[in-house]
Chains A and B, each alone.
Chain A
Amino acid sequence: MSDPVLRIENLRIALPEGADRDYAVDDVSFELNAGEILCIVGESGSGKSMSANAMMGLLPDLVRPVGGSILFDGVDLLTLSEAQLLDLRGRRIAMIFQEPMSALNPLMRVEDQIAEVFEAHNLLTAKERSARAIALLTEVGIPDPEKAARAYPFQLSGGQRQRVMIAMALALEPEILIADEPTTALDVTTQAQILELIRNLQEKHGMAVMFITHDFGVVAEIADRVAVMQYGRIVETGSADAVLDDPQHDYTRKLIAAIPKLATDREQDAIGRQKVLEVEGLSKTYVTGGGLFGGNKRVVKAVQNVSLTLAEGETLGIVGESGSGKSSVGRCLVRLMAPDAGTVRLAGQDMAKLSGRALREARKSIQMIFQDPYASLNPRSKVGRIIAEGPMAHGVPKAEAYARAVELLELVDLDALSIDRYPHEFSGGQRQRIGIARALALEPRVIIADEAVSALDVSIQAQVLDLLAELKEKLNLALIFITHDLRVAAQICDRIAVMQMGEVVEMGPARAIFENPQNAYTRTLIEAIPGREKELAAAG
């Protein structure tokens, strides 16, 4: 390897007073070599993005570096003035962000946004700029680049928008590319394509790439070297193979162990068990637009003719990419949304036809766990109230409902004293436990978990999954687990239904789906799981 292009030495970034720790980044040193991809891995709050933002001079107002240096080309970036940084940004160090929709200006055509990069550095004439824009779009593999250049960001898909971001970052051929969780917001198949693109471009241009991610699967796909961060410190660095196969630090080991394994050893034994939920021909169509002057209506068939059964004590996974209709199915089942057609038979009653009082009664036996641990608990209610509210609405006396809330909190491994605290005093994982306790309060027979672990860090995710499996066993629950993450599905589900564009394209025992997928789309999904090849190789 050649000399490092960038060297960070003992970098220390102070957080404002009253934060949970003194330093966002504490005594961090690493090197970035030309022509390599360095992955910075860590859970949320580990300080991985802060170090990248410090390089670009993009730290938030109250956060400032207090020690160390970031040496780039013999100059300490921390000492540069704003004007000097302006010249550097984009031209020599470029960055791509997590959310391509909010990183692009929604009111500007794609080619103008790319041209703006040249304009900012006073390069090229207008004509050359637009020619370069199209050349760049071609390079990042956007289909029909001339047309895409004239498009607005909302007319492109998430993956295409991220390609535009990459094209902008590449425009001035920077020496360093910083990618901050660039594939986190993307579907798994798109993610695989973007990772491949970054890898190819990096090789072609000989750039150094600093890739920030929380996902070890992504690390396995793309990294040359890895630095693992925890609480603002680097706990382990090394080559990708060394860190992934033979982690030295306890924290790295813990993180790697927490990744759900793809192999599933579950045997289906639901045959002969009683069915608790039978869904037949469920359909839901959204119609938007139209209106008074009869404009074009937009019709989205979110759920088309979906039929499922769920046996007692069974876990059914519904997997699919965004827009596949998997969440709509869940919402139709609990009637947060009224289906257009079909029956939802729950313990002999058709949920789809009930209303008013009868619906409230029937819902006691089908409850939901939500995705966002921050939005699913009322910030102005105490935890006890949140859990006891359901039973109280069904006529359980207050004292009894609160006593039950305490039992439930203990059941989900939370302290009984939690009932007098507010949700904001808890971490994401703890909040999700509260959400689970709330769902259990009405003693349901079926629980629908809609992306229940997607917002959690991988180690917390593993704990919550274990808790769910344990509760399911203990309380003989049937679980419908809606997720975009096939790894999670492999870990927890007995059977899996794969959805694409509102339809179930394949359904069967989890093992059969993973080992012998019949449908082409299922195969694409499984092949796109990051880190899969490495895992297969390791398994022999």
Chain B
Amino acid sequence: MADFWKRFSRNRGAVIGVVILVIVLVVAILAPVLFPQSPWRMVQRPFLAPLDMPSHPLGTDALGRDVLTGLAYGAQVSLLVGLVSTVAALLIGIPIGALAGYFGGWADDALMRFTEFFQTVPSFALAIVLVAIFQPSIYSIVAAIAIVSWPPVARLVRGEVLSLRSREYVEAAILSGQTSGTIILRQVLPNTISPIIVLASLMVATAILLESSLSFLGLGDPNLMSWGYMIGAARTVIRQAWWLSFFPGVAILLTVLALNLIGEGLNDALNPRLARKGK
């Protein structure tokens, strides 16, 4: 573990990513403390430019709501949606991939055709349809994102399991009389953890982007302030009030960038042999 942190911290980008993500996390958690009033409340005149009033450093939007407060509450939504939908996608993808890889044969064929069915449908279009059918709410958004993003997990886990299944320690476990379930859970899956962690960190980033895109199109949860919604609402006034779309955009950019940097750092730290040379 100490070794892992040493390798991880050697990657400067990854450390920057962690710093940014920690800041976003702290802001999200402390939002109700830092900004006690609701992000939906009108607090000043509309279109107040940034830095015009010290109490509203990032200005106000078309209805006089504070942009900074919106960003803080938006961080909550983005991180929550990103994490929960990724966990949900892992819960769908890992079992399917593990079963397909371990049992092979017709089980593999059936599960992989099922996976490909989801892969061939454009994921964003499917997410829009799902959210539209189930009514926009935080639950339907999380579910839609999970449903469109599990296939890569299943494929990754299947590949890993396929190569691990023929390892000698798995054969030894078969000989010692362990059942297939025990073998998958105890011998095979623990050894697929590293690539799954790397993939998951990137999936959180993708999920945040997906959620923002859905909110931008007006398919976000109407009761929750989110970055995508803020940009979507500011789109018509982009010439008069650039800051309304700029700051949420920067927030999305930084968060997604941080997650990608972390993912890359994890990849280098967890697969030291694949790490690029000369660093």
Query: Which A residues have a C-beta under 8 Å from some C-beta of B?
Result: 61, 334, 336, 360-361, 363-364, 367-368, 370-372, 375-381, 386, 389-390, 393-394, 435, 438-439, 441-442
* Contact across chains for B190 and A368 when beta carbons are under 8 A apart: no
Main secondary structure of the interface of A (DSSP, over half): loop
Stretch touching chain A among B57-65, B76-84, B167-175, B197-205: B167-175
* Contact across chains for A393 and B179 when beta carbons are under 8 A apart: yes
* Contact across chains for B176 and A438 when beta carbons are under 8 A apart: yes
* Contact across chains for B172 and A368 when beta carbons are under 8 A apart: yes
* Contact across chains for B177 and A370 when beta carbons are under 8 A apart: no
| In the bound complex, CA of A379 to CA of B186 (Å) | 11
* Contact across chains for B176 and A442 when beta carbons are under 8 A apart: yes
Closest residue to B182 on the A side, CB-wise? A393
* Contact across chains for A377 and B177 when beta carbons are under 8 A apart: no
| In the bound complex, CA of A526 to CA of B187 (Å) | 41
Tell me, rounded to whole Å, the shortest Cβ–Cβ distance linking A321 to chain B.
21
In the complex, whether B38 has a CB less than 8 A from a CB of chain A is no
Query: Which B residues have a C-beta under 8 Å from some C-beta of A?
Result: 167-169, 171-179, 182, 186-187, 190-191, 277-278
Closest residue to B170 on the A side, CB-wise? A378
* Contact across chains for B168 and A379 when beta carbons are under 8 A apart: no
Residue pairs across A and B with Cβ atoms less than 8 A apart, 17 shown, are A61-B277, A61-B278, A336-B171, A336-B175, A363-B175, A363-B176, A368-B175, A376-B169, A377-B169, A378-B186, A381-B186, A381-B190, A389-B173, A389-B178, A390-B177, A390-B178, A438-B172
* Contact across chains for A389 and B175 when beta carbons are under 8 A apart: no
> Which residues of A are found within 8 Å of B175, using beta-carbon distances?
334, 336, 363, 367-368, 390
Q: Which one of B168, B177, B182, B278 contacts A376 once the chains associate, using CB atoms below 8 Å?
A: B168
Tell me, rounded to whole Å, the shortest Cβ–Cβ distance linking A119 to chain B.
27
> Which residues of A are found within 8 Å of B172, using beta-carbon distances?
368, 370, 376, 435, 438-439
Closest residue to B189 on the A side, CB-wise? A380
Tell me, rounded to whole Å, the shortest Cβ–Cβ distance linking A515 to chain B.
35
A61-B277, A61-B278, A389-B186 in contact; A378/B169 too (CB < 8 A)? yes
> Which residues of B are found within 8 Å of A389, using beta-carbon distances?
173, 176, 178, 186
* Contact across chains for A393 and B171 when beta carbons are under 8 A apart: no
> Which residues of A are found within 8 Å of B174, using beta-carbon distances?
336
Q: Specify which of B175, B186, B187, B191 lies most central, judged by the most chain A CB atoms within 10 Å of its CB.
A: B175
A61-B277, A378-B187, A393-B182 in contact; A364/B169 too (CB < 8 A)? no
> Which residues of B are found within 8 Å of A336, using beta-carbon distances?
171, 174-175
Given A367-B176, A378-B186, A393-B179; 4 other pairs, CB 8 A cutoff: A61-B278, A368-B171, A386-B169, A394-B177
Q: Which one of B176, B182, B191, B278 contacts A380 once the chains associate, using CB atoms below 8 Å?
A: B191
Tell me, rounded to whole Å, the shortest Cβ–Cβ distance linking A241 to chain B.
41
| In the bound complex, CA of A372 to CA of B172 (Å) | 12
| In the bound complex, CA of A435 to CA of B168 (Å) | 10
| In the bound complex, CA of A441 to CA of B178 (Å) | 13
> Which residues of B are found within 8 Å of A378, using beta-carbon distances?
169, 173, 186-187, 190-191
Q: Specify which of B168, B178, B186, B191 lies most central, judged by the most chain A CB atoms within 10 Å of its CB.
A: B168
| In the bound complex, CA of A379 to CA of B188 (Å) | 11
| In the bound complex, CA of A45 to CA of B88 (Å) | 47
* Contact across chains for A379 and B177 when beta carbons are under 8 A apart: no
